[in-house]
């Protein structure tokens, strides 16, 4: 999920040595950061989006996974699959208006990333629909970025120094290419980022490629405004 994307990114980066990233202060474009912020703000106001995120690291196999998400104003459906070696996989359906998240996940995901279950319960509940309600301690993390506004507010990085580096075409869409570099903070690593946004007065993000400490995150956004099918599931177990 999108929150998992951010959490896994930061967790994997924390285990790796930091690397120096190039500065783009020289020749920085005054309006580039404003364009990036406008794209994020415009994205937050959309009805829905289809999002594909690929996180990869040649150093840590636990940092490799693909997340395919359909995110709307009222919830999201997210499917995450890790590499064969880390056995990470789960499907999540979040219904924000009902304040419930349904999760069907591998034992590894239930134990290490989602619910913090011990090995026995994780094996028992693996690959079954589980309902996590807002009163459960794990709910805030699971639901943190499962609406389109919270997804982009939390997970699209638009801080630091930015400049416009040119124009191009991504998936048939003409884009303006922005290059951003942000310094490390106490909560996030230093990131070197390329952000492609649509042209015009109201840009939308099309692709983000962010890297730091040997980990690369590649995200694409398409199918803006399409209907997202979100249905409640019959749970095997309930967490409140």
234 within a domain of the structure (yes/no): no
Question: What is the predicted pLDDT for the residue at 3?
Answer: 42
Confidence of residue 6 (pLDDT cuts 50, 70, 90): very low
Q: Looking at the domain assignment, is residue 23 inside a domain? A: yes
Is 200 within a domain? Answer: yes
Residue 160's CB: how many other CB atoms inside 10 A? 20
Of residues 9 and 127, the one with the higher pLDDT is: 127
pLDDT in tens, 148-169: 999 999 888 888 899 999 999 9
| Model pLDDT for residues 178-208, shown as the tens digit of each residue | 999 988 888 777 889 999 999 998 999 999 9
Q: Which residue has the higher pLDDT, 214 or 177?
A: 177
Q: Is 239 domain-assigned? A: no
CATH code (residue 149): 2.50.20.20
Return the structure tokens found at 63.
């940092």
Distance (Å, rounded) from C-alpha 177 to C-alpha 109? Answer: 35
In a domain, 235, yes or no: no
Number of other CB atoms surrounding residue 225 within 10 Å: 9
Q: Domain range for residue 77?
A: 2-11+18-228
15-30 residue pLDDT tens: 332 333 333 334 455 5
Question: What does the pLDDT read at residue 27?
Answer: 47
In a domain, 59, yes or no: yes
Strand boundaries in 106-172, DSSP class E: 130-133, 161-170
How far apart are the C-alpha atoms of 130 and 111, rounded to whole Å?
A: 13
Name the domain count of the chain: 1
Q: Positive or negative CA dihedral for 204, 207, 212, 216?
A: positive
pLDDT score, position 29:
53
> Do the domain assignments include residue 178?
yes
Phi (first) and psi of residue 122, to 5 degrees: -65, -45
State the pLDDT at residue 86. Answer: 78
**Is the pLDDT score of 129 beyond 90?**
yes
The answer to whether residue 236 sits within a structural domain is no
């Amino acid at each position: 999920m999108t929150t998992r994307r951010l959490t896994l990114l930061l967790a994997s980066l924390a285990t790796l040595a930091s690397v120096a990233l190039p500065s783009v202060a020289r020749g920085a474009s005054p309006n580039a950061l404003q364009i990036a912020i406008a794209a994020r703000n415009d994205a937050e106001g959309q009805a829905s989006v289809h999002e594909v995120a690929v996180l990869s690291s040649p150093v840590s196999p636990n940092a490799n996974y693909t997340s395919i998400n359909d995110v709307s104003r009222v919830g999201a459906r997210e499917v995450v699959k890790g590499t064969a070696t880390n056995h990470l996989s789960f499907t999540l359906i979040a219904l924000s208006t009902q304040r419930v998240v349904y999760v069907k996940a591998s034992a590894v995901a239930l134990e290490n990333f989602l619910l913090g279950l011990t090995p026995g319960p994780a094996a028992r509940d693996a690959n079954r629909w589980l309902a996590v309600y807002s009163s459960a301690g794990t709910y805030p993390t699971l639901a943190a970025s499962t609406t389109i506004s919270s997804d982009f507010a939390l997970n699209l990085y638009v801080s630091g120094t930015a400049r416009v580096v040119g124009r191009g075409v991504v998936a048939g869409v003409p884009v303006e290419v922005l290059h951003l570099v942000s310094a490390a903070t106490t909560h996030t690593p230093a990131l070197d980022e390329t952000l492609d946004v649509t042209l015009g007065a109201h840009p939308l993000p099309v692709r983000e490629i962010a890297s730091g400490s040997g980990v690369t995150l590649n995200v694409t956004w398409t199918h803006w405004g399409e209907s997202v099918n979100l249905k409640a599931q019959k749970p095997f177990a309930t967490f409140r």
